[in-house]
Amino acid sequence: IRNRDEFGRKDWKRHLKNVLRIVDEEVVPEFAKLGQLQHVNAEKERARTNPHPYWQNLDMLKVTQ
């Protein structure tokens, strides 16, 4: 989300918003069933503070468009 303005709101919504939706609507409930919700929350925080190299530089995504 922090890169939304830099990436462009329209492009962010089209390409990246779906990733967050999938995590929140599909991944989180499955981990909650297993009693692992803390693990998901920890990984979401880790991704926010130290994103995977692919997400650190969104120019890589722009190239694939």
24 or 54: whose pLDDT is higher? 24
Q: What is the pTM of this model?
A: 0.62
Distance between CA atoms of 27 and 34, rounded to whole angstroms? Answer: 11
Distance between CA atoms of 47 and 50, rounded to whole angstroms? Answer: 5
Distance between CA atoms of 26 and 24, rounded to whole angstroms? Answer: 6
Q: What is the pLDDT of residues 34-64, one digit of tens each?
A: 999 999 999 989 988 888 777 777 676 665 5
> Radius of gyration over alpha carbons of the chain, in Å?
13
Cα 65 to its chain centre, rounded Å, is 18
